């Protein structure tokens, strides 16, 4: 009963009476625009309530839609991640193929312009011991490969066939410690012998330097000179690029020359094996003709 | 009984206000007898009674006047409530506290009443503070006298009864 007793809720009663009076006054008074205050206040209050309700509904709707959109975006994101990964893989494969195509194209160009009879071979392996700089190619005696045949790349001399089998061959690289080739300085025509230095401090087929030996102390040699094969060793045809002089120092009256190979041995993929040089072919034809006689 | 007494007091105040007040102080509305009655009721019965009495009396007064119905009602509702609340919290039996309450109630009523008219741009009161001061003084004097009469009424009735019994 205490709840029904208005004397127990004086404040509420007072507020109700005051509000009633305000409503009563508002119903009679008009604003400057001629609209009753009650109407304007009521409209204003309800307009704000409508605005709030609309805003709340819109927020809830947006939140709900965003939640669903977020779910979809998450799935889409995962799908796209997979797609990106797949595309990156495909791109890498395409790049590899493109690089291979370029290499093969360069080899093809070299084959057609060198005038040598050559056999193209893919590099299928490298030497097991870093002290011995060798590679393995996928061509062997079945393809005409013999020991001491020159192996070249578009950039220059790679090395020589060391040990051919029927279907593969081991190639000694020019940078191997035991490798040597007769060369000359292209500018001054000074002859010498290139020998591998090897690179015990580096593992794998990193580009190492080679030494140019047996160059007379009075010879005209300077840094930056191109070094090409001289053909005197009977292995490498004359005129193939070997490298560029990296440093040339005169020690005790003798040249100490370091040459940077023209070929990047770390990225060899395919090579050409020189089966016959034009001179050898002519010589071979001459021998055959003499034999027939 | 109390409600009837309240209604009677308000009715009497309204009747006097509408008929006799203009004769009291030079024809101007220097005394608001209805307000005096509301404050007296509030001090006697408390805030709820004061509020309801103020609300009813103010509305009737507004209806009888040509103003906006509710402004006087609101002003008297607030005054009745606050006077009642004040009367509950403090002992207001001496003349001086009553005088202060009547003055304060009149000022508050005037502020609310004229303020609402002013805010709503319905009417401008020239020199309102002067009129308000005069009315506060008038209300206070009438209120104290009225209170004195009301409080002495039971004693007068008792004395008459006693005289009748002696005879």
pTM value is: 0.45
Residue A1: pLDDT band with limits 50, 70, 90: very low
Average pLDDT of the segment spanning A176-197: 90
| pLDDT the model gives residue B38 | 93
Using the predicted structure, report yes or no on whether residue B30 has a pLDDT greater than 80. Answer: no
pLDDT at B32 over 60: yes
The larger pLDDT score, comparing residue A191 to residue A208, is at A191
For residue B22 the two structure tokens come to: 């203009």
DSSP string, A145-157: --TT-EEEETTEE
Q: For an interface test with A, give the residue of B70, B71, B89, B114 to mutate (most A CBs within 10 A).
A: B70
Q: Assess if CATH 2.40.10.340 describes domain A115-276.
A: yes
Question: Rounded mean pLDDT of B113-133?
Answer: 83
Q: Which of A10, A22, A32 sits opposite B74 (nearest CB)?
A: A22
Q: Residue A37: list chain B partners with CB under 8 A.
A: 120
| % chain B with pLDDT above 90 | 32
CA of A50 to nearest chain B CA: how many angstroms apart?
27
Stronger pLDDT, B48 or A293, i.e. the higher one: B48
Q: Give the per-residue pLDDT at A243.
A: 94
Mean pLDDT calculated for residue range B75-95: 90
Q: Is A269 exposed, middle or buried (0-12, 13-18, 19+ CB in 10 A)?
A: middle
Closest CA to A151 of A166, A167, A173: A173
Q: What is the pLDDT of residue A177?
A: 82
Nearest chain B Cα distance for residue A46, angstroms: 22
CATH code of the domain containing B162 = 1.10.1760.20
pLDDT band for position A93 (cuts 50, 70, 90) = very high
Concatenate the DSSP letters of all residues of chain B into one string. -HHHHHHHHHHHHHHHHHHTHHHHTTTS----HHHHHHHHHHHHH-HHHHHHHHHHHHHHHHHHSSS-TTHHHHHHHHHHHHHHHHHHHS---SHHHHHHHHHHHHHHHHHHHHHHHHHTTS---SSHHHHHHHHHHHHHHHHHHHHHHHHHHHHHHHHHHHHHHH-
Average pLDDT over residues B38-58: 91
Given CA atoms A250, A254, A256, A261 in this order, what sign does their dihedral have? positive
Predicted confidence band of residue B11 (pLDDT cuts 50, 70, 90): confident
Among A12, A14, A34, which would you mutate to test the B interface (most chain B Cβ atoms within 10 Å of its Cβ)?
Answer: A14
SS (H, E, C) A22-85: HHHHHHHCECCCCCEHHHHHHHHHHHHHHHHHHHHHHHHHHHHHHHHHHHHHHHHHHHHHHHHH
Q: Answer yes or no: do A14 and B73 touch at CB < 8 A.
A: no
Axis-axis angle for helices B71-89, B95-119 (nearest 10) = 150
pLDDT of residue A193: 94
Average pLDDT for A62-86: 89
- The whole-angstrom separation of Cα A50 and Cα A54 is 6
- Say what the pLDDT of residue A229 is: 94
Domain that includes residue B12, residue range:
2-166
Q: What is the pLDDT of residues A192-213, one digit of tens each?
A: 999 987 654 443 334 477 889 9
pLDDT of residue A284 exceeding 80, the answer is no
**pLDDT at residue A206, as a whole number:** 42
The band of A36, judged by pLDDT with boundaries at 50, 70 and 90, is confident
Average pLDDT over residues A93-114: 84
Which of B70, B81, B116 faces A14 most closely, judged by CB atoms?
Answer: B81
- CB–CB of B69 and A24 under 8 A? yes
Label residue A128 by pLDDT band (50, 70, 90). Answer: low
Regarding predicted confidence, which is higher, A2 or B79? B79
Of the pLDDT bands very low, low, confident and very high (cuts 50, 70, 90), residue A178 is confident
From chain B, the residues in CB contact with A7 under 8 A are: 46, 48
Kindly tell me if the per-residue pLDDT of B25 is higher than 70. Answer: no
Our count of domains for chain B comes to 1
The verdict on a CB contact (< 8 Å) between B120 and A21 is no
**Confidence band for B24, pLDDT divided at 50, 70 and 90:** low
Which pLDDT does position A204 carry in this prediction?
A: 39
Q: Which residues contact A115 (CB under 8 A, 6 or more apart)?
A: A278
Is the confidence at residue B110, as pLDDT, over 80? yes
Nearest to B110 by CA among B118, B100, B120: B118
- What percentage of residues in chain A have a pLDDT greater than 70? 87
């Amino acid at each position: 009963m205490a709840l029904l007793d208005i004397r127990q809720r004086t404040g509420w009663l007072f507020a109700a009476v005051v509000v009633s009076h305000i409503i009563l006054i508002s119903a009679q008074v008009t604003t400057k625009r001629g609209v009753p205050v009650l109407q304007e206040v009521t409209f204003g209050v309800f307009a704000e309530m409508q605005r709030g309700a609309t805003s709340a509904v819109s927020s809830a709707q947006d939140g709900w839609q965003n939640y669903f959109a977020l779910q979809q975006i998450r799935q889409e994101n995962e799908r796209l991640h997979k797609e990106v990964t797949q595309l990156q893989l495909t791109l890498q494969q395409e790049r590899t193929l493109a690089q291979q195509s370029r290499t093969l194209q360069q080899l093809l160009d070299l084959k057609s312009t060198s005038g040598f009879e050559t056999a193209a071979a893919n590099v299928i392996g490298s030497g097991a011991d870093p002290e011995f700089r060798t590679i393995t190619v996928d061509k062997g005696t079945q393809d005409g490969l013999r020991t001491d045949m020159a192996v070249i790349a578009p950039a220059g001399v790679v090395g020589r066939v060391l040990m051919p089998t029927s279907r593969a061959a081991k190639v000694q690289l020019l940078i191997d410690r035991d490798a040597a080739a007769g060369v000359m300085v292209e500018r001054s025509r000074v002859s010498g012998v290139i020998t591998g230095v090897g690179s015990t401090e580096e593992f794998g087929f990193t580009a190492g330097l080679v030494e140019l030996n047996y160059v007379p102390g009075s010879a005209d040699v300077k840094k930056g000179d191109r070094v090409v094969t001289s053909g005197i060793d009977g292995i490498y045809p004359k005129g193939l690029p070997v490298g560029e002089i990296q440093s040339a120092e005169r020690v005790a009256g003798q040249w100490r020359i370091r040459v940077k190979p023209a070929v990047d041995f770390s990225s060899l993929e395919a090579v050409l094996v020189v089966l016959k040089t034009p001179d050898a072919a002519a010589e071979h034809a001459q021998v055959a003709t003499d034999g027939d006689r | 009984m109390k409600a009837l007494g309240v209604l009677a007091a308000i009715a009497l105040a309204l009747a006097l206000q509408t008929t006799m007040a203009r004769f009291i102080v030079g024809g101007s509305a220097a005394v608001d007898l209805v307000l005096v009655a509301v404050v007296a009721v509030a001090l006697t019965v408390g805030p709820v009674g004061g509020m309801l009495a103020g609300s009813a009396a103010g509305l009737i007064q507004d209806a009888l006047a040509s103003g906006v119905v509710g402004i006087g009602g609101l002003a008297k509702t607030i005054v009745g409530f606050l006077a009642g609340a004040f009367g509950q919290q403090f002992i207001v039996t001496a003349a001086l506290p009553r005088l202060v309450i009547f003055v304060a109630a009149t000022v508050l009523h005037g502020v609310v009443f004229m303020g609402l008219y002013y805010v709503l741009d319905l009417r401008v009161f020239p020199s309102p503070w002067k009129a308000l001061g005069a009315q506060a003084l008038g209300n206070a004097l009438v209120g104290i006298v009225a209170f004195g009469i009301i409080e002495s009424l039971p004693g007068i009735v008792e004395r008459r009864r006693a005289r009748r019994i002696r005879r």
